[in-house]
């Protein structure tokens, strides 16, 4: 069994004001005496002190219930997925080991991102872009049919079943290039998956794959996953992220540079009015950030790497996935029927005898 390092638990803050357990001691001011790593209520692991006042202290804690939420999501997926057609990772087992939640999965290869990184960020061949993208759409459609949103789609959360590869010499770049032998993959990381009836956090998704309605705080649902699919497909095709930014205003400026102006009604509805002035994005193109966006971003179709039909269909699909208005964006079900995917079929994987565990 391979040990796979897990992410930290979902951060939270806990205000300590009183306690009942006689096994703990108070200081002279009546506050709980605690140590880093202590558990509160068998759920919250104490990290650091965030602040304190007259009557209490605020502690930075990790919520171990987050792992249970992922387990719940994975178990529900497997209940619906009797034939292994969801293309989601299979949870084989889970257990609590000395306070650490451990999740056991079938053994996979490298992530789609790590393979590309190890390959000097060379884009995937078009046929593999098509196959990987189709599998992602199939997996997301399965989740959406369950009335669930993944909310953290990105190449890091897509694992090849096997990352065995062929190595050839690329005379253009004058270096070895890896081509994965099989582009079969599985979708992973359901720690942020959200059912329609559950509370929806204001902000979801990793920055580069975040939909405009999330940035503008207009509310979100399944279409935010579809936007992420569009961003991922572009990255597989080009070898770099479409929106390379870490700030909301710049992110919106990049969107407008690549996809055109944001719809007026979305701007008007947004509570993030600080980004706009008189209905337009408040953005100085003469600033250093403005120059960066102008020099590094261009209209979407100008990123085409070829003139064949597959490239035309690819960018046609991208335009429909990266539609600003969620209600006009293609659904995952509709995307499956796009001409770019003609001839593709849903694969069915059997579970592997090998496994790896993730500790949380």
Task: Give me the active site residues, please.
Answer: 152
Burial (CB count <10 Å: 0-12, 13-18, 19+), residue 182: middle
CA separation, residue 225 to residues 109, 148, 204, 222 (Å): 24, 10, 10, 6
CA separation, residue 200 to residues 140, 150, 260 (Å): 18, 12, 28
How far is residue 93's CA from residue 74's CA, in Å, rounded to a whole number? 11
How far is residue 114's CA from residue 241's CA, in Å, rounded to a whole number? 14
Alpha helices (H) along 195-321: 212-215, 223-238, 248-259, 264-269, 288-296, 309-321
Instruction: Find where tokens 């497997």 sit.
Output: 78
* Token reading at 181: 């032998």
**What DSSP element (H or E) covers 137?**
helix 126-145
CA separation, residue 211 to residues 8, 228, 271, 321, 324 (Å): 25, 7, 16, 11, 8
CA separation, residue 93 to residues 64, 75, 105, 319 (Å): 17, 10, 7, 40
3-state secondary structure of 192: coil
3-state secondary structure of 49: strand
Of the candidates 323, 217, 318, 211, the residue with the CA atom closest to the CA atom of residue 267: 217
């Amino acid at each position: 069994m391979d040990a796979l390092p897990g992410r930290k638990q979902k951060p939270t803050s806990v205000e300590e004001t009183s306690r009942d357990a006689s096994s703990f001691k108070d200081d002279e001011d009546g506050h709980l005496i605690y140590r880093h790593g202590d558990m509160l209520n068998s759920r919250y692991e104490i990290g650091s002190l965030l602040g304190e006042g007259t009557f209490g202290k605020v502690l930075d804690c990790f919520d171990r219930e987050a792992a249970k939420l992922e387990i719940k999501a994975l178990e529900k997926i497997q209940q619906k997925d009797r034939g292994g057609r969801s293309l989601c990772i299979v949870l084989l087992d889970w257990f609590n080991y000395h306070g650490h939640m451990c999740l056991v999965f079938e053994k996979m290869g490298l992530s789609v991102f790590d393979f590309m990184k190890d390959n000097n960020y060379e884009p995937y061949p078009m046929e593999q872009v098509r196959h990987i993208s189709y599998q992602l759409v199939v997996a997301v459609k399965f989740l959406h049919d369950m009335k669930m949103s993944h909310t953290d789609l990105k190449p890091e959360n897509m694992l090849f079943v096997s990352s065995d590869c062929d190595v050839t010499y690329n005379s253009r770049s004058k270096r070895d290039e890896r081509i994965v032998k099989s582009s079969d993959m599985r979708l992973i990381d359901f720690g942020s998956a959200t059912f329609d009836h559950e509370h929806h956090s204001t902000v979801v998704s990793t920055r580069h794959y975040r939909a405009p309605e999330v940035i503008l705080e207009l509310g979100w649902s399944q279409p935010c996953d579809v936007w992420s699919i569009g961003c991922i497909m572009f990255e597989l095709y080009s070898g770099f992220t479409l929106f390379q930014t870490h700030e909301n205003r710049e992110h919106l400026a990049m969107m407008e540079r690549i996809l055109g102006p944001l719809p007026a009604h979305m701007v008007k509805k947004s509570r993030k009015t600080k980004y706009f002035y008189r209905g337009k994005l408040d953005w100085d193109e003469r600033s250093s950030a403005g120059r960066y966006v102008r020099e590094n971003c261009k209209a979407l179709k100008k990123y085409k790497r070829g003139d064949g039909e597959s490239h035309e269909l690819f960018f046609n699909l991208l335009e429909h996935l990266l539609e600003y208005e969620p209600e006009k964006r293609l659904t995952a079900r509709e995307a499956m029927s796009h001409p770019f995917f003609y001839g593709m079929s849903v694969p069915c994987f059997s579970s592997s005898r090998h496994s790896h565990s993730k500790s949380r």
